Chain A
Amino acid sequence: MIDVLLASASSLATSPAELTVLVACIVLLSLRAWSDVTDVALTRRVSQTLTYVTLLLVLLFVVLAVVRFRTLG
């Protein structure tokens, strides 16, 4: 699957990689909101990791979107 998504630069211009990252971002954001609102007992380390991974994926999504704009635009 990964090789289909990221095997070549041109695959970055197609939607699967971007869509996958978008869905991952939404899932992580939902998880973060759910754990915080319902006061799920997370250690500080887990909580921070969740935040950093979410931010990283958001950043990756933005980069993929920019690549798509530049490739197809």
Chain B
Amino acid sequence: MSRSQGGAVVLAVTALVLWIAAVREADFARMGQLGLVTILHWPYFVGLALVVLGFANELLRSPLRSHWLIVFIALLAVFLFGTACAVEPIAGLADAYRHSGLLLYIFQHGHILTHYEADFSWTGAFSLGAVFAGFAGQVNSLGFTRWFPLFIELMYLAPLLVISRSIGVGRRAGWLGVALFYATDWIYQDYFSPQALGYLFLLVILAAVLASWRPRPSPKPPLTGFWRTIRFRYVRGRATLRLARLEGRDSVAVRGSVQTLGVLGLLGLISFSLAVSHVLTPYALILMLMGCLMTRRLGRPELVVLAALLVLGWLSLGASDYWRGHLNYIFSGLGHIGSTLSENVSGRVSGSVVHQLAAETRILVVGGLYVLAGVGALRRSTDSRTLEVVAGAPFLLLAISSYVGEGLMRVVLYALPFTALLAASAILPQRSGPIRSFVPNIRLGRYGRAALWSMVFVIVLGSAYATTVARGGNDAFEAFSTGELAAVNYVYKHVHYNDNVALVSPYLPYNQADVGAINWDSIETAGSITVGQIKLGLMDLKPKFIILSQSQENWGEIVVGLPKGWENTLFNALVNSGYRVAASWPTATVLVPATAH
């Protein structure tokens, strides 16, 4: 074993050992308001630093060793996406349980429940999940949920690597871009959900397109003259809307005709799977494919038209249960970009000081990445501006819908692989290509390699630490204890058809079974509310069961700003109003009317 090989092994193994130590040391019950980061100790941070150290060493050595780069990127994913899975006793996010419930309904009944939820109108992912659950001999999908974030993030790696190699950045910038993708992906959309699967489909389609078509060589720019260069760029920019370009005649297929047809057929099938699986992702795909077509990286306009037809077809024919009678659900956000942005950004920086800190860290990570991406766009030379166009294309979605206040977050996620590659180009820009960089090359001199190493190390590690804070920042109320799951299971055991079950907020592992048979209601509010109002709200629901829990208490303190111990006050008020304890655990209590048997 060579010295450098030995160094990489030592770094990787030490980092893994430190991660295991960090996970074993973390005590979920002691989690503070800032979430996951409050229970992580030095082994986590040192281990993460060793992973980034190993990655930076591998990135700047010659020749590159792909297998070691993959090892360090996979370790980075384990640290950032596997820690919560390992530390938290059960899967986090209430939506993961709700999706399991929808999947279970299909598994048990073989069809969907109509007039129930919007999600149920896009059934592809749930149906696929039901097939997998049956294939794996499971009675439900709950066994998949806990480690799903790490699993799906590692699944993203393959298409990400293809994208990074095909999109026109240098090899080192490609690897760095993939690492930056993971280091900045705080957007918690990788839980057990259709959007997580849809994102995989999106990446696979874009990776296949970028790997299957190359730009037809364009004329070389003039060597001298500022105005001549500007004029040349203008003329070339105008060409993006020429008919020949939109017919795909400016790109060249990399493969033979049979293979190209095969790829097109498969991409059509995946587009269909995506169209029936998620409400928003297919629109991002259409815009990004359009970007590929306009920048000479897609030779078949039929694929864009097909994707658009499938999306519109499913919305109109397959998802009519969702919009029938209230079309404004679809079109109410059209053109309201200002309100969408304010709902997506300023609406999220609220609650306690700690909650605001987590929200501000998220904005900082995204802002930093976009600044770097801007520098990357100016510094890099290339053969096509696909990267810039595809990174910007999903933002047009904001003109259509705010997507219940999450639109901007989703758009940033769709663009993230490409934004990360642009940001990597700020540090390691490609120097060759008919499209020249906007700014001259900066020479780093004698210490160039050391400077590059330092930049890679600081930026990736800083992003990874910030993402640890930002991603786990809501875990105090979005992650659950076994006691909370036991309380929900107690209710399932005793509840009858059409009974009301009341929660203060929807932060509980519920709805994973008997979808549509039980009325789960919460009185969650975005504004301020008092304990007295919460009590009245709960009583108004006339519930057969009320579940109070640690995660709901944390939500009240962190998001709404209720005083510490408010749930005790609520508990006493409910007991004084005719409710009694039916069962309790250290982190959850089930209340029933005193008259109930």
Contact = CB atoms under 8 A, between A and B. Distances in A.
B313 A22 contact: yes
B98 interface: no
B264 A61 contact: no
B261 interface: yes
Given A34-B261, A37-B264, A18 B316 contact: yes
Contacts of A70: 327
A33 B213 CA distance: 14
B300 A33 contact: yes
Interface in B424-460: none
Contacts of A34: 261
B260 interface: yes
A73 B324 contact: yes
Interface residues of B, number: 24
Contacts of A19: 313, 317
Contacts of A54: 305
A29 B264 CA distance: 11
A73 B257 contact: no
Contact of A25 (B253, B309, B316, B326): B309
Interface string B284-327: 00000000000000001011011001001101110010011111
A29 B300 CA distance: 10
Given A61-B309, A73-B324, A37 B253 contact: yes
A72 B320 contact: yes
A53 interface: no
A61 B261 contact: no
A72 B320 CA distance: 8
Given A25-B309, A32-B302, A69 B316 contact: yes
Nearest to A40: B257
Nearest to A34: B261
Contacts of B325: 72-73
B268 to A, nearest CB: 8
Contacts of A68: 316, 320
A29 B323 contact: no
Interface string A24-48: 0110011011101111000000000
A36 B260 CA distance: 11
Contacts of B330: 69, 73
B312 A65 contact: yes
Nearest to B327: A73
Contacts of B253: 37
B324 A33 contact: no
A69 B317 contact: no
A38 B261 CA distance: 8
A15 interface: yes
Interface residues of A, number: 26
Contact of A39 (B257, B300, B302): B257
Contacts of B303: 33
Nearest to A62: B312
B324 A58 contact: no
A33 to B, nearest CB: 4
Contacts of A33: 261, 264, 300, 302-303
Nearest to A67: B316
A68 B309 CA distance: 15
B324 A72 contact: yes
A69 B306 CA distance: 20
A65 to B, nearest CB: 4
A45 B330 CA distance: 40
A54 B325 CA distance: 32
A37 B312 contact: no
Nearest to B258: A38
Contacts of B312: 61-62, 65
A26 B317 contact: no
Interface in A46-61: 54, 58, 61
Contacts of A73: 323-327, 330
A54 B300 CA distance: 14
Given A38-B257, A58-B309, A29 B302 contact: yes
Nearest to A13: B320
A18 B260 CA distance: 29
Contacts of B313: 18-19, 22, 61, 65
Contacts of A65: 312-313, 315-316
Nearest to B329: A73
Contacts of A32: 302
B379 to A, nearest CB: 37
A18 B310 CA distance: 12
A15 B313 CA distance: 10
B305 A58 contact: yes
Given A61-B312, A69-B316, A69-B323, A37 B306 contact: no
A38 B300 CA distance: 13
Contacts of B302: 29-30, 32-33
A71 to B, nearest CB: 10
Q: Which 10 pairs from chain A and chain B are nearest by CB?
A: A73-B327, A65-B316, A29-B302, A33-B302, A22-B313, A38-B257, A37-B257, A15-B317, A72-B324, A37-B260
Interface of A: 15, 18-19, 22, 25-26, 29-30, 32-34, 36-39, 54, 58, 61-62, 64-65, 68-70, 72-73
Given A19-B317, A30-B302, A54-B305, 14 more contacts: A19-B313, A25-B305, A29-B302, A29-B306, A34-B261, A37-B261, A37-B300, A61-B313, A65-B315, A65-B316, A68-B316, A70-B327, A72-B323, A73-B324
9 contacts: A19-B317, A22-B317, A32-B302, A33-B300, A61-B309, A64-B316, A69-B323, A69-B327, A72-B323
